[in-house]
Amino acid sequence: MSANNTPPVEPSPAVTTPSTQGRRHHRSRHHGSTRQTRPRFVQIGNIALSVIKGNIIHQTTDVLVNSAVSDLDLSKGRASKALLEAAGDSIQSECTDQYPTGINSKTVAITGPGNLHCKAIFHVTLPRWQAQGDEKNIDVVVRNCLAEANKQRLTSMSFPALGTGFLKYPPRTVIASMFKTVEEFAKTNPNSTVKIVNCIVFSGDNDTFKEFLEEAKSKATSKGLQEKDIVTRNSLDANIGTISINIAVGSIITERADVIVNSCPSDLKLDARPGLAKAMYDAAGSGLQAEIDQNYPKGLKIGDLAVTCGHSLHCKKLYHGCMTSFYAKKESGLLPEKVLQNFVKKCLVEAKKNSVQSIVFPALGTGFLKFPPKTAATNVIKAIREFEANNSPSTIKTIKIVIFGGTNDWSSVEQAYTSEITTTDKGAAASVAQAPPHQIPNRGTRAYLAHKYKEEPRTPSYWTHFKNTKTIKEWNTTQKGNPYKVSSVDPKTYKSISRAFSSTGGSTIVRIERIENILLFEQYTQECQRTFRKAYVTQACTPLKNVQQSTGIAVTTKHLDKEMTNHLHDEINEFYLFHGTKIAVVDVITQQGLDSRLASSGLLGTGVYAADMADKSAGYTDQNQNGESKMFLMRVCLGDIFITKSTKAFKRPPCKTCNSDLCTTHPELFDSVVAEFNRREFVVYDSCKCYPEYLITYK
């Protein structure tokens, strides 16, 4: 199974049927992630080959292969059209621009991923099946895709059931040809970066799946290959100063060392959710939880360290720690990657203090916490380097990092760690795909989400005092005096806001002013960037109009000029919404922003409320002696939206898995709540998610 001759785990005799897929998923969830479970596979040289029932657009391998027509009109063909709809129009534009004359069966068209969770899409075409011997077309396509993936140093690929639909290729012939081609490629390219090849058969095509499975099993048996459900391999041996570093793929609960490190929830209830902590709980025995409950009854703060005995695991001590997800807010002023880095250092300092010689870490941050592999690897290795540089000599002789081999993306994590150790670039910045300088990716793509997260924010181009010639940070480090200015708006903006106000029930406007508060806007842009980061790592936010039970886009959007709405980002559901308020607190809001802690609880709990109808927000205003009222038009970042038609006093947005606002089991929450009442209400439970940009005075 491994080029380095590490002993494989005992293979299971079961085949990859839908029923065993369910059992397999249950087992591998214990090891730690919300990543796709690694299917059962056969190891052909350095490539793990699987047949999977599913939908290719949901795969998270580096490459997705799309079977298209030769002119690369991706709207033709059911599977290609579905992929286009999921990925977005940017991939069609790339095909049209880069391959104007189309392709043939010997060429591969390569585009970006659009909205899909892969690194690239390989578009291929096949002629219609005519007679025996045409399987050579499958061979050519698969071989060229493997070669191109290797050339680009990609590690995993998902092929559809090539040619088995409209093109009439026999399913057994297709999988037999794929098996043969993968085997030959593995033999002639033993050092290929490609480690995982999945063949995805559409969920509704049971007959094709059955034929693929039977033929693949027959081929594997004839070659003396057995199915496995976890990869074990030694990936790299290296040195950082006087410390030996070993990167391996496998299962950490089988390791032997002085110390094994565990990532767990802050309440230290190890069996509360599937993942690494649950695997530790199962393997160590109930005495582990009893020791934790006795010594750490209040749980653990983010980034802190808890130490217990190893119990039934093959170690003297277990180090337990809780970290934040990659897209979480700063913890005590620290980004999640810094929390991760500091935790690794704490483990090593504790180990040195107790004369530990060997310590084993899991691939911290990847999986459940959603760190991109390179970001996790960069920060873990940086922590080890800094510890070694500042703590020499040390009793620690060996550090091992075990990447769980039971998920579908172990190879990308392995590549990230081996690359981080062997490269000379040791920066620890969050690593997500970033566009080349001066080149902004297409809106709506994952590359654009990454770009918006990574960029240095500036003020809007139409601001007149805090102009966007400087970054927001530059303004905030050079600004003297008041950090905010109230400015008049240009006639076109006045007309646009007036139309949105009057069209949604507003009355006579006296004036409209723009609030340029550089401190508040920095907080708002930081929250927007966190949402971009979350959307990049997990999945793009579902547009408001497409959320189940939604009555459509925000009404304000229909009436505001494009020049205004173009400054918003629908990728994170950013809208202009109204917020009515009392005159007495207008100055406080202008200077300090909206603070839900000072408000009484509404129908949806204590939060910042907004509306897309001015007459709805007008119900929360009062009048001065001149009969004037005040209303804000706010920028609001709704992110992932939860829609309800009933009242409930939410303490925060609910969990995306169980819909409970008090859930502590799952990591992903919605960002906002929208109530589809007679007049819609929008609620965010963090004031940083809104910025009061315009103040409308009306009678």
d(CA 384, CA 417): 12
pLDDT confidence of 80, banded at 50, 70, 90?
Answer: very high
DSSP symbol at 596: G
Nearest to 397 by CA among 362, 424, 360, 364: 360
d(CA 125, CA 127): 7
Question: So what's the pLDDT on residue 39?
Answer: 60
Q: 185-204: per-residue pLDDT in tens?
A: 999 999 899 999 999 999 88
Q: Is the predicted pLDDT of residue 581 greater than 80, yes or no?
A: yes
Q: Is the predicted pLDDT of residue 328 greater than 90, yes or no?
A: no
Mean pLDDT rounded to a whole number for the chain: 87
d(CA 301, CA 207): 52
Question: So what's the pLDDT on residue 7?
Answer: 30
Contact at 8 Å (CB) between 56 and 413?
Answer: no
Question: So what's the pLDDT on residue 598?
Answer: 67
Question: So what's the pLDDT on residue 23?
Answer: 33
Give buried/exposed letters for 621-635 (b at 16+ CB in 10 A, else e).
beeeeeebbbbbbbb
Residues of the chain with pLDDT > 70, as a percent, come to 92
- Dihedral sign for Cα atoms in the order 64, 200, 176, 24: positive
State both tokens at 539: 């999945």
State both tokens at 336: 């999640």
Q: Is the predicted pLDDT of residue 239 greater than 90, yes or no?
A: yes
d(CA 349, CA 179): 49
Q: 473-522: per-residue pLDDT in tens?
A: 999 888 777 788 999 999 999 999 999 999 999 999 999 999 999 999 99
Q: Is the predicted pLDDT of residue 402 greater than 70, yes or no?
A: yes
329-333, 630-634, 642-646: least confident range: 329-333
Q: Are strands 629-637 and 641-644 parallel, antiparallel or unpaired?
A: unpaired
Whole-model pTM: value is 0.70
d(CA 556, CA 694): 14
Q: Is the predicted pLDDT of residue 32 greater than 50, yes or no?
A: no
Q: Is the predicted pLDDT of residue 351 greater than 60, yes or no?
A: yes
Question: So what's the pLDDT on residue 429?
Answer: 40
DSSP symbol at 45: T
230-234, 415-419, 528-532, 598-602: least confident range: 598-602
Question: So what's the pLDDT on residue 20?
Answer: 34
Q: Is the predicted pLDDT of residue 11 greater than 80, yes or no?
A: no
Question: So what's the pLDDT on residue 346?
Answer: 97
pLDDT confidence of 438, banded at 50, 70, 90?
Answer: low
Q: How far is CA 574 from CA 154, 559, 565, 577, 677, in A?
A: 34, 16, 9, 9, 21
Question: So what's the pLDDT on residue 329?
Answer: 79
Torsion of the alpha carbons at 49, 55, 61 and 64, rounded to the nearest 10? 100
Residue with the larger pLDDT of the pair 32 and 539: 539
Q: Is the predicted pLDDT of residue 257 greater than 90, yes or no?
A: yes
Query: For the residues 144-169, what does the mean pLDDT come to?
Result: 93
Ranges of beta strands (E only) in 336-390 are 358-362
Domains and CATH numbers, the chain: 42-232 (3.40.220.10), 239-422 (3.40.220.10), 472-698 (3.90.228.10)
